[in-house]
A and B are shown apart, each in its own frame.
Chain A
Amino acid sequence: MTGAKALWATLAAHGISTVFGYPGGAIMPVYDALTYYPEVRHVLARHEQGAIHAAEGWAKATGEIGVCIATSGPGATNLVTGLADAMMDNVPLLAITGNVARHLMGTDAFQEADITGITLPITKHNYVVTDPNELPAIVAEAIRIARSGRPGPVLVDIPKDVQLAAFTGKLVKPQAAPEAISPRPEAIHAACELLKTAKKPVLMVGGGSQGASKEITEFARAWQIPTITTLMGLGAFPASDPLWLGMPGMHGSVAANHAISQADVLIGFGLRFDDRVTGRVKDFAPNAQIIHVDLDAAEIGKIVRAHLPVKSDAKQAAVALTDGAVPFEVPEWQAQIDEWKMRGEHPTTWGAAQAVRQVVARLRPDDILTTDVGQHQMLAAQLARFEKPRRWLTSGGLGTMGFGFPAALGAAMAEPGVQSIVIAGDGGFQMTSQELATLTKYDIRNCKICIINNSYLGMVRQWQELFHEKRYSEVYLGDSNPDFLKLADAYNIKGWRADNSADLETAIDAWLSHDGSGLLEVVVPNEHGVFPMVPAGAALYEMIENEPVKVPDLGDKMNVMASAANTEISTEASQ
């Protein structure tokens, strides 16, 4: 047996059925050994970034670990974006990379890159395997680290001669995951006591709650707490429940943002108070006592003060907090929330918002929706209604353009019986459109692509419109976009196009009922923004509820936006 075979044997022993990857010189022994392990399916992507986003899509949809493989040097560095993405969104991921032989490491050999050095800050942990006999133990440990606690990506770098070396060690069994951290009874007691004093309670549910959806829903209903789900938490609480207020933050709902601003007790589950959620931090939930439930102690108190920290697994904390629940009877608070919920409706004129609305209206509870990054992403987050966890896959933390399509592809392979719909923009789609080849190669029939084409990098354009006096610098794509239907056709994928509401309805029917994957291009007018919007640097209660009238009338709010944005524009523009 070789080191390479020991790798596959270990992956197979861990129940890993599918890996996404791209071969190359320094990983060839692993690809050679793959032929001896038919129990593992290898999916050949067309770019390593496509492979890792597909693995992320697999992991986000199933909650199981995603695995991707790349060669040394450029292959490995092409994984960097996906690793950073997985780190930010806590995706359990194992990345295997080849490297040059041990005696060549450090000599600037052909296709050599110090990938463990490069990925050090964007992985939960990483390894170089220097002893072939240690390989199974390292891979087993890597898988445990990726899955346990707050999940994340782990990279294992294997020099080529280690892959080829005779393996004389022992194969190892999967390591047991550590037990989930349970909350201290004193903390739960204190949280219950604090909750009971609330007159304006709010529950915020983040991405760390996707695995605890049932328990958190029961907790919210038992107490009757109005509930907000963050971008990463969408689906962790059913949207059809009257308690649901939508998403908070920069493009959050009127109800969610005002409820946070006025709440007297805010309980957060599995969330990290991202700057896109909090707005200006010192004015985030200014009147609230904050209970923060998280299993990562470093997240508690990192951004916002937590009056009551509860270090715990979300599921166990929710169960403990449900016991002894006293349903809130706060009619005035509820009436106020109901009034907010009526506001901030999108205009009904034809545009990206209406197009996204028509597409997401067709989602069934089991369907998976992935998005790229930009206006369409925020519109989908605002408009889609998720009843279940793990049905909404988006690049929340890193904001990775090019994420949506390969992630949908990975999710479609993970759940072949489920429809996986991607909504992308014309900009983001072109960052990973080469994965259309993967769609064709594996005859994936349940991946439906929708491109909202406004001929612009829409979100950047929106910011330039608001904060740079409409100087649309380098954001116009319309003069050089491909004919997306011809592009699809080139990969033997069927396509549809619509540029108005009525045609879109017909096209959606044809697109979704088509037996096989398909691409729908929706051509929309370009100057539409995403609203509501909290300008960067402003407080949540300073949100702009509706799209300003196009005649430039820069009132007070706009001045706030412009001045607030000046300091942050350089880092904020890409979302």
Chain B
Amino acid sequence: MTSPLQPVSDHLVSALVRDEPRVLTRITSLFGRRGYNIKSLSVGATEMPGVSRMTFVVSGDRGVVEQAMKQLDKLHDVVKIIDHSLEKYVDRELVLVKVRVENTERRIEIRQMAEDFRARIVDAGHHALTFEVTGDEGKITAFIEQMRTFGILETMRTGRIALTRGSNADIPSHIYHDGETETLQPVLQSAPREGKAREVNNMF
């Protein structure tokens, strides 16, 4: 549901999902069918066997993102949804950038620029340098923009990943008004097949 009052923006959302076949397809097909726009998606294993973590960047207004999260939450494979906009979080992205090197002068210039961004050289060729940069979205975008002037040959970004700040494991989203902070333990218990039904408390 789009409302003209709410600007379209990017939202960072994480989902803990059961590590089962087709989970990624299920989630992306849900996004596709309902017309939600995923700008980036990264998936990886967690510290818990059988549970993977996905971080999405969804673009749309608040209503679209809430609806997307509620629809995601209905999927059986989704253990928990975290809306990072409701908590303090850290987020990172990794990018590999291959930059053209025309001559030695340029090489020095590029290396200096890279040092300012704390970019590491992961491969060096006669006519190209490949950098690895991690950081938040702004830093990575800025680095790419700087490198563009030298001539970028290739880039690959991983998409954003995020964790809630603080010593607690991810706090359930406020959308569901779960209230008290939970550790990941209850989540783990609900993941195995014969576990008890996952509970989502009342939204109101």
Contacts and interface: CB of A to CB of B under 8 A. Distances in A.
A178 interface: yes
Q: Size class of A's contact patch?
A: 35 or more
B1 A301 contact: yes
Contacts of B70: 297-298
A126 B33 CA distance: 17
B193 interface: yes
Nearest to A137: B193
Chain A interface main SS type: mixed
A161 B26 CA distance: 26
Interface residues of B, number: 29
A135 to B, nearest CB: 12
B1 A178 contact: no
A121 B33 contact: yes
B199 A178 contact: yes
Given A183-B202, A187-B204, A302-B1, A144 B197 contact: yes
B29 A120 contact: yes
B46 interface: no
A574 interface: no
Interface stretch (A15-23, A303-311, A450-458): A303-311
Given A148-B197, A298-B67, A186 B33 contact: no
Nearest to B71: A298
B47 interface: no
A80 interface: no
A300 B203 contact: yes
Interface in B156-204: 175-176, 193-194, 196-197, 199-200, 202-204
B203 A311 contact: yes
A148 B194 CA distance: 15
Contacts of A116: 22
B67 A181 contact: no
Nearest to A298: B70
B29 A303 contact: no
B74 interface: yes
A148 B199 CA distance: 12
Given A148-B197, A298-B67, A186 B204 contact: yes
A187 B77 CA distance: 29
Contacts of A120: 22, 25-26, 29
A124 interface: yes
Given A187-B204, A310-B204, A298 B74 contact: yes
B73 interface: yes
B50 interface: no
A296 interface: yes
A311 B67 contact: no
Contacts, number: 67
B44 interface: no
Q: Which of A125, A178, A183, A298 has the most CB of B within 10 A?
A: A298
Contacts of B7: none
Nearest to A303: B1
A387 interface: no
Nearest to B198: A178
A389 B70 CA distance: 29
Contacts of B138: none
B76 interface: yes
A261 interface: no
Contacts of A301: 1, 63, 66-67
Contacts of A175: 194
A514 interface: no
Contact of A298 (B25, B73, B76): B73
Contact of B73 (A297, A302, A310, A312): A297
Nearest to A296: B74
Q: Which of A117, A120, A134 has the most CB of B within 10 A?
A: A120
B75 to A, nearest CB: 8
A137 B204 contact: no
Nearest to B193: A137
B125 interface: no
B106 to A, nearest CB: 50
Given A137-B193, A298-B74, A309 B29 contact: no
A124 B76 contact: yes
A557 interface: no
A172 B21 CA distance: 23
Given A120-B29, A302-B67, A311 B1 contact: no
A145 B197 CA distance: 9
B43 to A, nearest CB: 18
A300 B66 CA distance: 11
A138 interface: yes
A509 to B, nearest CB: 49
Contacts of B67: 298, 301-302
B203 A309 contact: yes
Interface in B20-52: 21-22, 25-26, 29-30, 33
Contacts of A138: 193
Interface in A175-191: 175, 177-178, 181-184, 186-187
Contacts of B75: 125
Interface string A281-323: 0000000000000001110111100001111100000000000
Nearest to B72: A298
Contacts of A183: 202, 204
Contacts of A308: 204
A134 B193 CA distance: 10
A141 B198 CA distance: 12
Nearest to A141: B193
Contacts of B66: 301
Contacts of A187: 202, 204
Contacts of B1: 301-303
Given A298-B73, A298-B74, A301-B67, A311 B26 contact: no
Contacts of A141: 193-194
A187 B204 CA distance: 6
Given A144-B197, A298-B67, A303-B1, A184 B74 contact: no
Given A296-B74, A301-B67, A309-B203, A178 B197 contact: yes
Contacts of B33: 121
B33 to A, nearest CB: 5
28 contacts: A117-B25, A120-B26, A120-B29, A125-B75, A125-B76, A125-B77, A128-B21, A134-B193, A137-B193, A138-B193, A145-B76, A177-B197, A178-B197, A183-B204, A184-B204, A186-B204, A187-B202, A297-B73, A297-B200, A297-B203, A298-B73, A300-B203, A301-B1, A301-B63, A302-B1, A303-B1, A311-B203, A312-B202
Q: Which 8 pairs of residues, A with B, have the shortest CB-CB distance? A: A178-B197, A298-B70, A125-B76, A311-B203, A187-B204, A184-B202, A311-B202, A297-B70
Given A120-B29, A186-B204, 11 more contacts: A120-B22, A120-B25, A125-B77, A128-B21, A141-B193, A148-B197, A178-B197, A298-B67, A301-B63, A302-B1, A309-B203
